[in-house]
Structure 1
């Protein structure tokens, strides 16, 4: 049995402008790759966030941070993962990702994530 279906936002973002991209996003990426059971959805989310942070691709982070929460990662785990990535991907990339995460996670639930540990 495959993982649950995850809704792509590609159709909302690109609609008729890039129909092939929408089809690949819906049918291949979220319709096949994300549904494979060799990795848990939680793990796929964590890997995706790590790749986005490493590449400095913060525009896609809000969607994937919210998806990561749906897939079982807590805000504290997400902050910890990004903090850990700072030492491997670079401080500026992690700082940018934390800024995006702070806004995305706070807007989702009005969270105040403790920074002491």
Structure 2
């Protein structure tokens, strides 16, 4: 699993905060995501759960695409969101479903 995770960080952010971008790309996506303790699919499901639970819909489109690349099916995402609705709240789950429908 040496495929690199392509970030979608805009050039403006790269210019403004190069260290922030470097840490995100080299530590988060290269070291943390590549730790073999969890599979990429497990990491994607965990990340989606975390984003939904805190209501961070801005990051969801990127992580939904990454989850798909990591083997998470749309059916699994829908099941995850349905499950999460009972633990983190219906509005947060509904907001995540709205992102998927776009």
TM superposition score category, shorter chain reference: over 0.9
Query: What displacement does 1:5 show?
Result: 2.0
Looking at structure 1, the residues matched to 73 and 96 of structure 2 have their Cα atoms a distance apart, in angstroms, of 16
Residue 67 of structure 2 corresponds to residue 59 of structure 1:
no
Shift of 1:93: 0.4
Give structure 1 regions of 4+ aligned residues with deviation exceeding 4 angstroms: none
Alignment of 1:59-78 (within 5 A): 59-78=58-77
Label 1:59 to 1:65 Cα distance change in 2 as closer, same or farther (>3 A): same
Q: Distance in 1 between matches of 2:74 and 2:60?
A: 13
Q: How many residues align?
A: 102
Corresponding residue for residue 5 of structure 2: 6
Deviations 1:27-50 (A, max 9, x none): 100111011111000000000000
Q: 1:73 to 1:86 in 2, by over 3 A?
A: same
Q: Which residue of 1 aligns with 2:46?
A: 47
TM-score normalized with structure 2 length: 0.93
Task: Give the TM-score, by structure 1 length.
Answer: 0.81
- The 1:71/1:12 distance shift into structure 2, 3 A limit, reads farther
Preserved CA contact (<8 Å) 1:4 1:35: no
Deviation per CA, 1:45-100, whole angstroms, max 9, x where unpaired?
00000000000000000000011000001111101101110000000000001101
> Structure 2 stretches of 5 or more lacking a match?
none
CA distance in structure 1 between the aligned counterparts of 2:66 and 2:40, rounded to whole angstroms = 9
What value does the CA root-mean-square deviation take over the aligned residues? 1.4
Q: Go from structure 1 to structure 2 and tell me whether the alpha carbon gap of 1:4 and 1:97 turns closer, same or farther (over 3 Å shift).
A: same
